[in-house]
Structure 1
Amino acid sequence: MAILLTTLYTPCKPERAKEFLTCLERNLAHPYIEAVKVFLEVKDQDSGYGYLEGFSHEKLEIIPVHHRSTYAELIEVANNWGSNKVGIIVNGDIYFDENSALERSAEITTEEFWTLSRYEPTKDGGWKLFHIAVAGAHDCWIFRTPLAPFKNNYQLGIQGCDLFMAQRAIEAGFKVLNPCLTILPRHLHQVGGVRNHKLDPIRKTNYWHDPEYAPLGTQTYSPKPCSLERRAYLSSSSPMYVGMNLVGRWLLPIYRFEPIKNQIDTLRGHGRTHKAKAK
């Protein structure tokens, strides 16, 4: 059995609220999930629960907060729920159904940290894996309690938070994998317009701008989609990590130096010679 933790916010568009409620109801109905904790970001102390006002379920606990929640806060609640439990963190627009194989998360060990990519609905009623699943795009994080401490005080929903979590878990010695070919998180976001994904909306900064973000290159911290039958781990002992730690740490700053980067990109056919015409 698992405890599922997520974040929501109010106010939001009624159409978007309906999507959030749909995901919440489906997760509450899942037989493998024994408890659901919702960190609800409310505008101020006098604000109500908005679209969650009056919503109740025996599995549900709503935790009102006045800030965007962090992974650290959700992990702390999961750890306090009990030992040897499966903790599942998801974005608010993710749900699991009877075909998601969520019960396979019981196979996770204390040495592992799973970061799963999502599935998008198709026009024919099916599902397809998110197209940038191989590039560190994750919407679900699974672990066994109590999760050993590592640097994870990052806000959910900010651009770059997903890869940053994978990076920190790898640096902390976890075996990180993306078993999204076995466990299928469903994504429900058909309403236009998205919430702000920036740390600073004015300066338009996010975790990509953090100087500690992906120092060895994003692929070093991006576990490939895999199945639980054929696990593809990334860890601090992975050949790529060891190699990049020895060589890439010195080469990447050189590549990222703007004049050199522009020359390399031009040779690779990614130059900016037509940028003005494209505007």
Structure 2
Amino acid sequence: EGRGGEPGFVLVTSLFVPTRASSEHTVELFTALLVNTANPFIEAVHVLLESGGEDACRGLPAMLTKHAAVAPHRDMAKITCVPVGRQPTYADFFRYANSALAQRDVLLANTDVVFDETLALLERPVRTDLAHVLSVQPPPYAGRYKELLGKECPSEVRCAMGGYDGFAPVDSWDAYAFRSPLPQGMNFTSIDHVMNLYGAELGAAYELERNCGRKVSNPCMHVHAFHWHCIGGKMHKSEESVNDVHEGNLVCVPPCWHCPGMRAASAEAPAVLEHTWCSNGEVAVLSDLPESVRRNVSRLFRFPPSIKICLSEGADMQQLGDKLLQRQLPVCRAPSDMDCVVGFGEKVGHQVRRR
């Protein structure tokens, strides 16, 4: 259960029955699933099983024990297994959430995405005018991944402002949080493809925002989605993009700072929606930089006007620009952080690209 006895999130994901030809990534997938079952803010996990039918569903606990022997197994009773006979498409996932999980807060995610206690930052129930997407980041250093799998996992930072701190295009996310059911209007035909295709998430976000009236927000700076994918190869089915098959694509939903639909994690923690950022420092923006460095610094960010820097004291703008070029300033993580940089993605209008 979540805070105050409220129902927790229902995680919806998919899984396949491993074969000898399966990727070594299978160990990460099964371990990630079990780590999520142990999350106190996830009440139930619905696994759409891609192969094997009812027999495979009955054997799922043994399969998890075999392929994720080091993971926590105490919460496997949270798992509901649903045989679907193929890799589910976005359309399948959303239809399932609508029919089986009405009046529930749903987390839809790739199997290798792990959540933590920051799920508590999302308002509950999730607002019906809002849907959250979450861009992924690597598991924390010396954290749960290292504990269970014996190595670090420096996966790519997708929860980023641009090339400055990670994935330059800022158009990738692997998880969704929304209140079910979604309203009529979703074009299921447009997104009747699997999740692991290039550009697939852009069509799903378009359907949520434009056809379902759920304004999309990306609070990944505050609500963590860790990508447990450092073993085995890529999971994309092909290098082809599916952008051209969508009714439309919602491109670039950058991480927000003062995000809608958020709350404080505790009475002591400042709510991220309050304008407390840099209250004891001095704020600089990229347009303050001298022209000699401004252009090159701006290229490091997908949306330069949304970027702000919190300084502990006044700084020489030329020196500040040089520090940014060298990526010497960290990303702000808390409202009290100073000498750091942050993007206010909530101020960026969402771009729609149609086929």
TM-score (structure 2 length as normaliser): 0.56
Aligned pair 1:4/2:14, yes or no? no
1:178-220 alpha-carbon deviations (Å, 9 max, x no partner): 110110011111113133423xxxxx64413427453xxxxx6
AA of the residue aligned to 1:161: A
Correspondences of 1:1-150 after superposition (within 5 Å): 1-11=8-18, 13=22, 15-42=24-51, 48=56, 52=60, 54=62, 55=64, 57-98=76-117, 101-107=118-124, 108-121=126-139, 129-130=157-158, 131-132=166-167, 135-149=170-184, 150=186
- State how far apart, in whole Å, the 2-side matches of 1:138 and 1:196 are: 14
- Pick one of 198, 216, 224 that aligns with 2:254: 224
1:115-139 alpha-carbon deviations (Å, 9 max, x no partner): 1100114767698842227522001
- State how far apart, in whole Å, the 1-side matches of 2:198 and 2:56 are: 28
**Greater Rg by CA:** 2
2:203–2:246 Cα contact (<8 Å) kept: no
2:23–2:232 Cα contact (<8 Å) kept: no
- State how far apart, in whole Å, the 2-side matches of 1:123 and 1:103 are: 22
Aligned pair 1:151/2:170, yes or no? no
AA of the residue aligned to 2:254: K
1:219-253 alpha-carbon deviations (Å, 9 max, x no partner): x632110133358559xxx8565xx7xxx88xxx9
1:101-150 alpha-carbon deviations (Å, 9 max, x no partner): 01223343101111110011476769884222752200101101222231
| Equivalent position of 2:339 in the other structure | none
- How far off is 1:87 after superposition? 0.5
1:17–1:51 Cα contact (<8 Å) kept: no
- How far off is 1:76 after superposition? 3.1
The alignment partner of 1:6 has SS state of: strand
1:93–1:188 Cα contact (<8 Å) kept: yes
| Equivalent position of 1:170 in the other structure | 209
Say if 1:177 and 1:47 are closer, same or farther in 2 by CA, change over 3 A.
same
- State how far apart, in whole Å, the 1-side matches of 2:109 and 2:29 are: 12
Say if 1:65 and 1:124 are closer, same or farther in 2 by CA, change over 3 A.
same
1:170–1:221 Cα contact (<8 Å) kept: no
- State how far apart, in whole Å, the 1-side matches of 2:87 and 2:78 are: 23
Q: Percent of counterpart pairs with the same letter?
A: 27
- State how far apart, in whole Å, the 2-side matches of 1:81 and 1:3 are: 11
Q: RMSD in angstroms over aligned alpha carbons?
A: 3.3
Say if 1:51 and 1:209 are closer, same or farther in 2 by CA, change over 3 A.
farther
AA of the residue aligned to 1:190: C
The alignment partner of 2:123 has SS state of: helix
Say if 1:22 and 1:47 are closer, same or farther in 2 by CA, change over 3 A.
same
AA of the residue aligned to 2:133: T
- State how far apart, in whole Å, the 2-side matches of 1:133 and 1:104 are: 26
- State how far apart, in whole Å, the 2-side matches of 1:122 and 1:2 are: 23
Q: Indicate the larger mover: 79-88 or 179-188.
A: 79-88
Say if 1:132 and 1:164 are closer, same or farther in 2 by CA, change over 3 A.
farther
| Equivalent position of 1:265 in the other structure | none
Say if 1:164 and 1:31 are closer, same or farther in 2 by CA, change over 3 A.
same
AA of the residue aligned to 1:138: W
AA of the residue aligned to 2:175: C
Q: Tell me the number of residue pairs that the alignment of Structure 1 and Structure 2 aligns.
A: 229
2:251–2:350 Cα contact (<8 Å) kept: no
**Where in structure 2 are there 5+ consecutive unaligned residues?**
1-7, 65-72, 144-151, 159-165, 260-271, 274-343
AA of the residue aligned to 1:10: V
The alignment partner of 2:33 has SS state of: helix
- State how far apart, in whole Å, the 1-side matches of 2:201 and 2:30 are: 23
